Amino acid sequence: MTILLAPMEGLLDFVLRDILTRAGGIDRCVSEFIRITDQLLPERVFTRIVPELHTGGRTLAGVPVRAQLLGSDPVCLAENAARLAGLGPAGIDLNFGCPAKVVNRHGGGAALLDEPDAIAAIVTAVRRAVPAHVPVSAKMRLGYSDDSRAVECALAIAGGGADELVVHARTKEQAYRPPAYWDRIADIRAVLRIPVVANGEIWTVDDARRCREASGCDMLMLGRGAVTDPGLALAIKADMTSAAVDPAPAVITWPALLPLMAEFWQLVCTRLDTRSRAGRLKQWLNFLRRRFPEAETAYQQLKSINDPALIDGWLAGVVQKRQASATMPFYSFTHRKNP
């Protein structure tokens, strides 16, 4: 079982990648997209969005990061991919799935799913521009308004020379509304000879099990599910590798998550501008409260606070309580019913 961490603009940036990979279970990350329009970007743009390029293309926990490019001009994308490859990423990923209106209006992201020939041209150009040892992968949705061209687009990506394909099992029009149509990923897998990764609506171990069964994929990409439950990747791996009888997935506990939250806050205060710091912590707490009742309490306590000094004090208090009960396990092991 291989688990990837998804690119999510405005959420899964280098700060949260750092923290979630420290939690464990993630085998590889993909950065949020670097938008390519009509110019060759300076190196500082790539390293600003993917600072892991300064550390061998890996997070501080040692997890490799592929840098993602988004655009519609094959020549410009190829030129930027070549420059990016020289900075040592763990690979280069191409975005054919972003549903944002501003991106689609300019012919990028999911808008390209109505143009398989354009997709093929982009992948071909980038693959030719990048050294053979640098992997080139892509991420797509099932389509723009419908999934009638999903297989055609996937074939265009593979035919262009991509080494791997991630499929978000929804169309652009379906956005993030459940369900995800994992069975359509199986249709794509049936015609491709490159690895296919399943993505979309994986929030729990049970979701991962059902996704794997429906898609046939042994590679999964987690997005909001991992943000909501930083122990999800570990729990999925424990579930998939346990014996069929009496498996016991590992789950990160709230007390154990608090030091990671403190590290997150320290990174936010070090690397991000003052105005956005409190919002970033509250954004993560907003996701965490879906999984942890304690996060709901924390969110309510902090939702009207924007002063970093007050948040420092709050975090110091909760971490101190955690240290006072240092016998609490980092993971809990809970039985689940046999499938």
For the annotated catalytic residues, the residue numbers are 98
Distance (Å, rounded) from C-alpha 315 to C-alpha 79?
45
Joined tokens for residue 336: 């689940």
Buried b (16+ CB within 10 A) or exposed e, 146-170: ebebbbebbbbbbebbbebbbbbbb
Amino acid letter, residue 131: P
Q: Contact 195/167 with Cβ under 8 angstroms?
A: no
Q: Contact 154/191 with Cβ under 8 angstroms?
A: yes
Query: Dihedral through CA 230, CA 232, CA 238, CA 241, nearest 10?
Result: -130
Query: Which candidate, 249, 260, 325, places its Cα nearest to that of 295?
Result: 260
Is 26 in a helix, a strand, or coil?
coil
Joined tokens for residue 316: 């110091």
Joined tokens for residue 88: 């040592």
Amino acid letter, residue 209: R
Distance (Å, rounded) from C-alpha 162 to C-alpha 143?
18
